[in-house]
Amino acid sequence: MRKGFYAGATDEIISTRRLVDIANAYAIFNDKAKAIALCLARFDDETKASFMALYEKLDADLRAGIDESISADNSDATESADATESADASNNKCPF
């Protein structure tokens, strides 16, 4: 990341503490994309996007993980909506 900053790939530098936080978050969540996104939350959207783009170039596996997590989130949301609709249909009593 620092080499990218010195080469002009990003506008801001990331501190050692932030890198340690990313490593700790990865150990907790076991998800690189989530760990990076959570630890970059303090940066503005443009800076977050540039750091994520830089890291995606360094780690090709990350892009596949992001695509899989997006697909999983979408299918979970669909299943949750279906379950809510079926629960609403079976419980048609008005509480008022």
In a domain, 15, yes or no: yes
In a domain, 41, yes or no: yes
In a domain, 34, yes or no: yes
- One DSSP character per residue, 19-59 reads HHHHHHHHHHH--HHHHHHHHTTTS-HHHHHHHHHHHHHH-
Range of the domain at 16: 2-69
In a domain, 42, yes or no: yes
Mean pLDDT calculated for residue range 31-38: 89
Rounded distance, CA 84 to CA 81, Å? 5
Question: What is the domain count for the chain?
Answer: 1
Tens digit of pLDDT for each residue in 37-60? 899 888 888 888 888 888 888 887
What is the percentage of the chain residues whose pLDDT exceeds 90?
12
Model pTM score = 0.56
